[in-house]
Amino acid sequence: MGWFDPPWRRGSRVKLTAMGVAATIAEGIVEGTNVLLTRLAEQGFAWTHPARTSADECLLECVLFEWFLRDLAMSYGSEGTTKAIRAALAGRVLVDLQRSGLSAGCLGDFDRRHRERFAEYTFSAGLGASLQPLGALAWRRISGSDQPTERMTMLLAVRASAELAGYRGSRGF
């Protein structure tokens, strides 16, 4: 005896839209940003840089870093689908940031900053086999400092490496 197969389920397929995929990825960016902020707090960033930690700039830079990691993983997909998802995701991330209460001044140049960070991060990630240059650059952006610290650079490099390895494993990249 087999499982009951209702007639309304036979042959039905769920079609994913770019907006649906973007919504799922945006949720992952929010979750990843929260994890990143928790890790930074555990490393003492909140008490060594309290003004920066509570600034909109810090949250925005964390979101851009997490978004970049997911965008890098998406680059392994088909170009047409990826382009549509990226466009939908940019709008979704902006709306989520507005809902989170970030100031209009911080979001005023969102598109430009997003493009600049992704270009910088792409260059840093491609410098070699290590993700340390990416971690150092991300830390400078998140902390607002010109000097990366080895501990935070490694924290972000390891985070990037783990996130990308997770995507490769779960998505077959």
Return mean pLDDT, the chain. Answer: 86
User: Does residue 127 have a pLDDT over 80?
Assistant: no
pLDDT of residue 15: 66
Instruction: Inform me whether the pLDDT recorded for 6 exceeds 90.
Output: no
What mean pLDDT comes out for the span 125-145? 89
Sequence letter at residue 135? G
31-70 pLDDT per residue, tens: 999 999 999 999 999 888 889 988 999 999 999 999 999 9
pLDDT of residue 38: 94
- pLDDT for position 172: 43
Q: What is the pTM of this model?
A: 0.84
Give per-residue pLDDT as tens, 80-89.
678 889 999 9
**pLDDT exceeds 70 at position 140:** yes
